[in-house]
Homo-oligomer: A and B are copies of this chain.
């Protein structure tokens, strides 16, 4: 069970990920992060009933640090977990690191709200959904 709280995927850096500097492009990391989030949700079956309802996780802020360039053929590990559950928004922490050494390449905080398609508005995080998200919460991040 705890294995899904901190979910990891690996992505190998390919030629089309790079840009004029020979590094993975800034924008491409956001696709890597999105890939990590889809995989995270997929592995947490308790969230499925919600994802199949009219409730969507809508990203309202991404705060990403680029700490070290990533180069051709490097294998990146994208780690994804829920780091905060507030009353109106939550935060997903994502860390991209070199698979081999663990060196951090980029890390991001992704803030989301729950959007109710029927009501066409963001809703409070409460009830069953709150409980589920809190069960997935990882709070061990002490310092950064």
Q: Nearest Cβ in chain B — how far from A55, in angstroms?
A: 13
Partner of A66, one of B18, B34, B38, B61: B61
Residues of B contacting A14 in the complex (Cβ-Cβ under 8 angstroms): 20, 34-35, 38
- Assess whether A88 is interfacial by the CB under 8 Å rule: no
**A interface, over-half SS:** mixed
How far, in angstroms, from A48 to B57 measured CA to CA in the complex? 35
How far, in angstroms, from A61 to B25 measured CA to CA in the complex? 13
Q: List 28 A-B contacts (CB under 8 A).
A: A15-B19, A15-B20, A15-B21, A15-B25, A15-B34, A15-B38, A16-B20, A16-B26, A16-B27, A16-B34, A18-B18, A18-B19, A19-B19, A25-B34, A26-B30, A26-B34, A26-B62, A27-B27, A27-B30, A27-B34, A30-B30, A58-B66, A60-B65, A60-B66, A60-B67, A61-B65, A61-B66, A63-B63
Q: What are the 8 A-B residue pairs with the smallest beta carbon separation, nearest first?
A: A27-B30, A15-B20, A63-B63, A27-B31, A18-B20, A15-B19, A14-B38, A16-B25
